[in-house]
Amino acid sequence: MLSKAKVRFIKSLQVKKYRLAEQCFVVQGAKAVREVLASDFKVDLLVGTPSFFQEKLAAHKASEVIEASEKELTAVSSVETNSAALAIVRMKPAGRPVIPNDNFTLVLDDIRDPGNLGTIIRTADWYGVPLVLASEETTDLYSPKVINSTMGSFLRVAVHYGKLDQWLSTVNIPVYGAFLDGTDIHKVQFGKAGLLVIGNESKGISPGVAKWVSQQVTIPRIGKAESLNASVATAIVLDNLRRS
C-alpha cells in the first residue's frame, strides 16, 4: 500500500521545481516501466500491482518496491488509467553533448508543447537519431506528458538543454533548418551527417539560431494549410534525411 507521504512525493514530481530538486521523474504504465527496468537508468521506487510483480522482471533493480492496487496507482498517476505500474527514475547527469560527425542530430529551438517534444523524441528514436539539443526555453523532457508521449524512447535518445548558438558555433557539418521558403526537401541531397533545426510552433526558428543554418529546407506544400505541426514537420524531414 502507498503511504500518504509517498503519494504526496509521487504527485509532487508532476511539478518541474520538485523534479529538479529531487533529480528524479515518474514513468507510468507497465510497458514503459518494464523498459526502464531493462535499461541502465536507476530506479528509486517501483510501484506495481500484484499481477505486475508476477511477471519475471528486474524488480530487484529498484531501491524500493511497493505493491499497490490499480485504484491507488491511477490515483497517483497523471494519465487517466494506470492499471499496472509506476517507477520513480533518477535523472542522468547531463554532461557535455558530443555532436556526432557521422550521424544526424536534432536541434529544437523552443518547442513548447509537451506532446510535440515527446513525439519528436519517439520519431528521432525510430530514425536512429541519438542526440537532441534543446534550447533552454524548450518544454521540460521530464514532465509526465513528455515522458508518456516518447513511448519509452527517452531511454535511447539523449536530450541536452543549453545555449543552441554556442553549440552550433562549434560544428563543421551541414546545419539544415526547416523554413517555409527554403529548398524543397525532395530535391536536397542530405548526405550522411548534419544537424536539423526545428523552430518554435508559432514563431519558427529564432534569428540567433537561424544565422547558423547553412541550408534552409522546406516541405513542399500541395494544398492550402498554412503550416504543419512541429512534430509532423520534424518527422517528414527526418524521413527525407534517411532516404538520401
Contact set with its own copies (CB under 8 A): 115, 119, 122-129, 149, 151-153, 156, 186, 219-229, 231-232, 235-236, 239-240, 242-243
Output the smallest distance, CB 149 to its own copies, in A: 8
> Using an 8 Å Cβ cutoff, are 160 and 134 in contact?
yes
Name which of 162 and 182 has its Cβ closer to its own copies: 182
Name which of 97 and 115 has its Cβ closer to its own copies: 115
Separation between Cα atoms, residue 7 and residue 160, nearest integer Å? 30
Cell 518547442 sits at which residue?
111
Name which of 103 and 206 has its Cβ closer to its own copies: 103
Output the smallest distance, CB 130 to its own copies, in A: 8
Name which of 85 and 168 has its Cβ closer to its own copies: 85
Output the smallest distance, CB 102 to its own copies, in A: 13
- Collapsing DSSP to helix, strand or coil, 80 comes out as coil
CA distances to 24, 120, 174 from 126, rounded to whole Å, are: 25, 10, 22
CA distances to 13, 25, 191, 232 from 130, rounded to whole Å, are: 26, 21, 17, 19
Name which of 76 and 204 has its Cβ closer to its own copies: 204
Q: How many CB atoms lie within 10 A of CB 70?
A: 14
Q: Is 111 exposed, middle or buried (0-12, 13-18, 19+ CB in 10 A)?
A: buried
Separation between Cα atoms, residue 49 and residue 63, nearest integer Å? 17
Output the smallest distance, CB 45 to its own copies, in A: 25
Give residue 226's Cα distance to chain centre.
26
Separation between Cα atoms, residue 197 and residue 209, nearest integer Å? 8
Name which of 50 and 223 has its Cβ closer to its own copies: 223
> Using an 8 Å Cβ cutoff, are 168 and 80 in contact?
no
> Using an 8 Å Cβ cutoff, are 178 and 205 in contact?
yes
Name which of 42 and 156 has its Cβ closer to its own copies: 156
